[in-house]
Amino acid sequence: MNPEKVITRIAPSPTGQMHIGTVRTALFNYIFAKQNKGTYFVRIEDTDRERNKEEWVDAIWNDFEWCGLKPDAKYRQSEHIERHKELLQKLVAEDKAYISREPKKDDPTEEVEVVRLRNPNTTITFTDLIRGEVSFDTTEHGDFVIARSIDDPLYHFAVVVDDGDSCVTHVLRAEEHISNTPRQILILEALGYTRPTYAHFPLILAPDRTKLSKRKHAASVEQYRTQGFLPEAMINYLALLGWNPGGEREIFSLDELIKLFSFERMHKAGAVFDIEKFRWFNHEYLKLLPMQEFVDRLSLFMTERGDTVPPYLPQIGVELRNRAQTFGEAADYLKGGEFSFMEDTIPAPTGELLLQGAKADAAAVKTNLTKVVELLLEHEPFTAESVKEAIFPYATEQGRASVLWPMRVALSGKEKSPDPFTLAGLLGRKKTLERIEKALRML
């Protein structure tokens, strides 16, 4: 194989939100082309005039851009309609196809003209890069329809013409298309095109092992984008659905996938989409982001979602990233008030709340909080770790509940919140001391 001649394509239809299975197919086409210094392009299959919508065309371009799978070229199938008509007429003129007048499907009293390919009724055999040798007896297809009329080619015909004219060398697609292959080979042979190499990837399955469906399951790119998943996490996870790089490692960049991919390690059986595993992948990628990039990307996500970005976001970035597996979760934590203790003003805790879990009377708690202030007054540096080093021995000596419970409540104003050391590290010395002293006045 001459790597200079490798040409792959992905051909989605603009009939709805893009399925993550389409992204995975695009990914493998992209990887294989780049691995062989070839060309990868996107062709919008817009032959279904009734179901196509312009908004879905725009969504396809946007989704691929978001995923980072930038094509070397892109176009729409409808741009080639004159070429399709030209070759339909050529096949009819050569008697390789013919016009047939037939009853209309939804109204048998009317007749329509369709174009049928003359089937040589032969056995088609091809080598699939994943499944090995595959054979079909084409007799069962009869003389099949390739156009609704001489001006209206069907998918099977249009896709073969476009692949042939674009010199596509490898048709890499989902296994559901394997049954289309014999018809398409018959068409390309009638047209005189060179047969491409085929590979059919295993389907992505739902947990119940049915086909992952946009109708029944969360399966569109848009759904995961709006939940705050990262494109790099999606690409990494989808690559491992049906392909095994070997070894225990799971985190791979796109460049690493290009170097490692091989058809020999593709599975034939369907791969189950596990949302919890996907969430794990996403969390791993969040943790890999430099903190400023995490804050910037989360801020953009929240702004686009219509949420208010709190000014203290940079201060709680590490804590937020440790807790949230997606940007959506992070935004919900902020919106739900879990980090409202970072506000400049918080509701003052009641004396009852300060004592609730302290396992000590007001006098003991007051003594303990006074000692905490004393320990922190000149303490350097002021981080969660250093505050713990300063306070924990005293808390262990006096009873942790009677020291740490009121300290945490004083800093957060809440019954439930992060531990007091984390709170102090996030709030800083000034706010920490001010809030503890305010709590002392409540006792």
Residue 404 CA to residue 179 CA, distance in Å, equals 67
What string of pLDDT tens digits covers the 443 residues of the chain? 444 589 999 999 988 899 999 999 999 999 999 999 999 999 999 877 777 788 889 999 999 999 999 999 999 999 999 999 999 999 999 999 999 999 988 888 899 999 999 999 999 999 999 999 999 999 999 999 999 999 999 989 999 999 999 999 999 999 999 999 999 999 999 999 999 999 999 999 998 898 887 666 678 999 999 999 999 999 999 999 999 998 889 999 999 999 999 999 999 999 999 999 999 999 999 999 999 999 999 999 999 999 999 999 999 999 999 999 999 999 999 988 888 899 888 888 888 898 999 888 999 999 999 999 999 997 789 999 999 999 999 999 999 999 999 999 999 998 888 899 999 999 999 999 999 999 999 88
Q: Which of 179, 201, 223 represents a domain boundary (last residue)?
A: 201
> Which range marks the domain in which residue 419 is found?
351-442
Q: Are residues 174 and 25 in the same domain?
A: no
Residue 398 CA to residue 57 CA, distance in Å, equals 67
- Domain annotation covers residue 280: no
Count the domains in the chain. Answer: 4
Give the long-range contacts of residues 313-321, CB within 8 A, separation 24 or more: 315/342, 315/426, 316/342, 316/426, 317/291, 318/291, 319/418, 319/422, 319/426, 321/286, 321/287, 321/289, 321/291, 321/294
C-alpha count within 13 angstroms, C-beta hemisphere, residue 153: 27
Q: Which of 272, 306, 322 represents a domain boundary (last residue)?
A: 272
Q: Are residues 37 and 87 in the same domain?
A: no
Contact 69, 27 (CB under 8 A): yes
Specify the CATH number for the domain of residue 165. Answer: 3.40.50.620
Is residue 371 flagged as an active site residue? Answer: no
- Domain annotation covers residue 344: no
Q: Are residues 187 and 96 in the same domain?
A: yes
Question: Residue 4: its pLDDT value, please?
Answer: 57
Structure tokens at 42: 């996107």
Q: Are residues 321 and 411 in the same domain?
A: no
Paired residues of 103 in beta bridges:
111
**Residue 89 neighbours by CB distance under 10 Å:** 13
Strands 97-104 and 107-117: antiparallel
Give the long-range contacts of residues 252-261, CB within 8 A, separation 24 or more: 254/31, 254/68, 257/27, 257/31, 258/31, 258/34, 258/35, 259/35, 261/28, 261/31, 261/32, 261/35
Nearest to 252 by CA among 274, 275, 236, 233: 236
Question: Residue 3: its pLDDT value, please?
Answer: 44
Q: Are residues 363 and 255 in the same domain?
A: no
Q: Are residues 257 and 368 in the same domain?
A: no
Q: Are residues 158 and 242 in the same domain?
A: no
Q: Are residues 105 and 184 in the same domain?
A: yes
Q: Are residues 84 and 177 in the same domain?
A: yes
Residue 161 CA to residue 178 CA, distance in Å, equals 18
Q: Are residues 197 and 84 in the same domain?
A: yes
Q: Are residues 194 and 85 in the same domain?
A: yes
Q: Which of 185, 201, 217 represents a domain boundary (last residue)?
A: 201
Q: Which of 74, 85, 96, 214 is catalytic?
A: 214
Q: Are residues 67 and 86 in the same domain?
A: no
Structure tokens at 214: 């946009």
Question: Residue 2: its pLDDT value, please?
Answer: 46
- Domain annotation covers residue 435: yes
